[in-house]
A = this chain, B = another copy of it.
Amino acid sequence: MTRRIVYLAGGVGGSKLAVGLASLLSPDELTIVVNTGDDEEFHGLHVSPDVDTVMYALAGLTNEVSGWGVTGDTFSGLSMLERLGAPTWFNLGDKDLATHIRRTQLLRQGWSLSKVTNELSQQLGIKHRIVPMSDDSVRTVIHTPEGPLSFQDYFVRRRCEPSAAAIDFTGADTAQPSAGFSEALQEATAVIYGPSNPIVSIGPILALPGLRERLQAFSGPRIAVSPIVGGEAVRGPAAKMLRELGEEPGVGAIARRLAGLCDILVIDETDRDAASEVERWGMKAVAEQTIMTNIEDRISLAGRVLELAS
């Protein structure tokens, strides 16, 4: 029987394991479902940061130093936008801007975000399916003492400094999972949660109507990889946000958020002693080397996750 893996991903961490999985799975064995809760419009252009991070990673275009954007990109356009009086706190390289220009053009022609993502992926030579979690608008809002902030406003402009009092996913109550996501889940033999922020990357996906129920009822193996290692996020504000929301940032918090939705949580080997914190939430803990610094790490971790999923 052919494996049909549905892989749920946010940005940088999620994209690294995506590359590993795509190295080991054929295109018909893998569907990469990406968070769109932190999509935002900049300069009138539709930016899908997580979709792009995954897309650039699979196309071999990632700027590995910064972790976002396109390698070798220039920033002439942004400097001109600044000169023209536009707010430029969100860093956008010229090649990256081209992606947003093209996406926006196709969206305005009436294409769905799924269709646009498929088109851009194909043009970039990507063989595996990347699908946005939804073609409808879902926007992550961080409620802070400064007022509600969009995710990018919080994450980039305010550098995650304000305390997160609560998180909303505006539009999630009526948004539908994209057809590509829904169909892939229907046919899936296993579900993998990437090492992405449980609150703002996996959270918006789980907030889609019916998704939790479908994942709860899913009969195949469900494997997650913890984005928290040694009580800190490998990258990004996950640990800080968990703390502010009153949770101890550790593998236990990841397990708690996936309780009933996951069978095995892959934790870093440095967290081996915390396995019981995972298992109290009704899932198995498996300790692995989860830090992915190079392509070998990505393939190795993907291979181990696929073993657990079989």
Contacts and interface: CB of A to CB of B under 8 A. Distances in A.
**Chain A interface bracket (under 10, 10 to 19, 20 to 34, 35 or more):** 20 to 34
Nearest to A70: B80
B43 A101 contact: yes
A98 B73 contact: no
Q: How many identical chains are in the complex?
A: 2
Nearest to A101: B43
Which of the listed residues A77, A95, A96, A105 has the most CB atoms from chain B within 10 Å of its own CB?
A77
The SS class assigned to the A binding surface is helix
A76 to B, nearest CB: 4
A164 B144 CA distance: 63
A93 B85 CA distance: 19
A81 interface: yes
Nearest to A78: B98
21 contacts: A43-B101, A43-B102, A44-B101, A44-B104, A44-B108, A45-B101, A70-B80, A76-B95, A76-B98, A77-B77, A79-B95, A79-B98, A81-B101, A84-B99, A84-B102, A84-B123, A85-B119, A85-B123, A86-B102, A97-B101, A101-B101
